[in-house]
Chain A
């Protein structure tokens, strides 16, 4: 590491390193962020959920979308794995089934970035005890 010799240098370094700890800052207020939850139970992992999650992490990072990508347990839609739940700020959660890389790209481009509804949503047919 070369020396920081000006305020501009310091700011440049800050921008560079900030992304490394952004995840920690975002974790404190998840409700204001785009949240992507990938179903990672045994059936999800077997259907390639791990690659899908990695794809989300990398793609959102590259497109500079502030999002929290986390994993979650079995959502119950084992027939439609890999399943991905997306929560946009102040919107109802939406679950997508049969997510492959093409679908993931579509979800990022259309739903996450523009808020447009796309095909492949698993309709909610149950209620949770919170309601």
Chain B
């Protein structure tokens, strides 16, 4: 059989699947068969391309044509015009938003220009359900190299030299963690992959598991070899069904090929991987809570030490790493620590995957070298703020992180700089906010999340966060006082100092960082009873401008709560105590006689 002359790659990530990428695949195959091209063209469902804003993505190779927002009904044109006659379908091409020109080659799309893809190297490139394509991309070569050429100590040294730090949030040096677990003597140890991705807006771990599950499997086996474990466990949330399915297929194939199981590659090394499902509790991303959940206990954290490296799953030494951390390992082994540690900043090596969300033009998944500035990420890759609005802030690190303002736009992003700026790396969610977002409401939103997710074991987190939330609600309702702001600060510090685990210790961060950076917004709420961004409904007032009102009674008839009174042909009046701020009167008024204060 000759090889296919053309490959059509379709994004099969959760986002694009929701927009019927399966349907596109079926239709493409249908028309390819229709024109007898089935020996010439291969259609492949891959992992996420990252450019979710424009999904579903279809890429045609070798031309490197990048089609966006494709529908199943476009399949006919793609086959008839492009595949058969070599004419790209212009209406589906990505258009450069700056000049509206169609971009023919994926290499020329700004979104990808500044990216270096290490953890995402195979996402959008291989078929995640086909182990052979992974092997063709040097897959399992790193495991083979470690097992046959290196001692565990040598591999650990390589990982330490690479400077890789945990990508789940804390940034603990990975090599050191492995070494600690290795040095604990025990008859049974475990490797755990933390796939309990809980930050709102973050989806890099899901995309890696969906697009390149074998890289995680291979890395877990390498870790097992290093620390002396024969069992790996993936703790994954049940609400990631596609990731679970792909992972199961991948584990099955690896076992079939003898890359998991007993006597791997004839070296006598045994390693198996099992899945453990979580119910999607944020606190279970914390490693002690995660381990308890895996043991069948309540997902509650316990005091460290003892660290899981000493006493983890079933009381045995356990090495817990995050999905993205694992995805970096095979590349480090294949290309060497000295290749990896040339990328990034002094103390943060390699790349980081970020999930761009919020008021940004190119929502999606990106991977950039550590040390890239926020400006490059938001404006060059992210394409700037939606609708040409003004950038206000970017929230990193999820509910545990903080908000960064304009003055940090040129700060190189790495673990230490983000902490110095009052936020943190977290798992890599980046939520961009514009001038219309109220920072007090944002802090309240994150507190709501923490309240829901607090396990309730320790008082500062269970009760303290509740009080924080109440104060924030008060402020957004216009009932706050100047003392409330001080109360927020004091209470936040107490919660940080006295909570049991990372969840409580970091939950006040959004409050503290919004107060630090946007105190004027808090003051406007409590002193003037105003929300500068116009978001807090309770602080808004619909009023009728008497001079413009013609007394047409339209607003009176449409008000759902009867808050408007007035005679025909006489100016009307809104009773503020009854008004629910729905805005119907403003929408209905034909004379612009209703204003919003």
Q: Supply 20 A–B pairs (Cβ within 8 Å), ascending by A.
A: A3-B257, A4-B258, A4-B259, A4-B265, A5-B265, A7-B145, A9-B265, A10-B141, A13-B135, A14-B135, A14-B141, A20-B3, A21-B136, A23-B5, A24-B125, A27-B61, A42-B85, A70-B62, A70-B86, A73-B85
A41 adjacent to B85 (CB under 8 Å): yes
Least Cβ–Cβ distance between B457 and chain A, in angstroms: 47
Contact-residue bracket for chain A: 35 or more
Least Cβ–Cβ distance between B377 and chain A, in angstroms: 22
| Bound: A28/B7 CA distance, A | 13
| Bound: A21/B3 CA distance, A | 9
Chain B, Cβ-Cβ closest to A5: B266
| Bound: A69/B62 CA distance, A | 8
Q: Does A88 contact B (CB under 8 A)?
A: no
Q: Does B410 contact A (CB under 8 A)?
A: no
| Bound: A38/B136 CA distance, A | 28
Contact-residue bracket for chain B: 35 or more
Least Cβ–Cβ distance between B209 and chain A, in angstroms: 20
Count of A-B contacts with CB under 8 A? 104
Evaluate whether A21 and B137 lie within 8 angstroms (CB atoms) in the complex, with A1-B256, A7-B265, A10-B144 already known: yes
| Bound: A9/B265 CA distance, A | 8
Q: Does A99 contact B (CB under 8 A)?
A: no
Residues of A48-84 at the interface with B, using a CB-CB cut-off of 8 Å, are 53-54, 57-58, 61, 68-73
Least Cβ–Cβ distance between B153 and chain A, in angstroms: 20
| Bound: A24/B121 CA distance, A | 13
Name the one of B7, B84, B132, B256 contacting A40, with C-beta atoms under 8 angstroms.
B84
B5 adjacent to A26 (CB under 8 Å): no
Q: Does A32 contact B (CB under 8 A)?
A: no
Name the one of B3, B63, B258 contacting A61, with C-beta atoms under 8 angstroms.
B3
Chain A, Cβ-Cβ closest to B60: A27
Main secondary structure of the interface of A (DSSP, over half): helix
Name the one of B4, B63, B141 contacting A70, with C-beta atoms under 8 angstroms.
B63
Chain B, Cβ-Cβ closest to A41: B85
A21 adjacent to B86 (CB under 8 Å): no
A72 adjacent to B86 (CB under 8 Å): yes
Name the one of B86, B126, B256 contacting A73, with C-beta atoms under 8 angstroms.
B86
Chain A, Cβ-Cβ closest to B2: A58
Evaluate whether A7 and B132 lie within 8 angstroms (CB atoms) in the complex, with A24-B61, A41-B85, A53-B5 already known: no
Evaluate whether A17 and B133 lie within 8 angstroms (CB atoms) in the complex, with A23-B62, A24-B7, A30-B64 already known: yes
B62 adjacent to A30 (CB under 8 Å): yes
B3 adjacent to A45 (CB under 8 Å): no
- Chain B CB count within 10 A is highest, among A24, A45, A61, for A24
| Bound: A54/B148 CA distance, A | 42
Least Cβ–Cβ distance between B126 and chain A, in angstroms: 7
| Bound: A11/B139 CA distance, A | 10
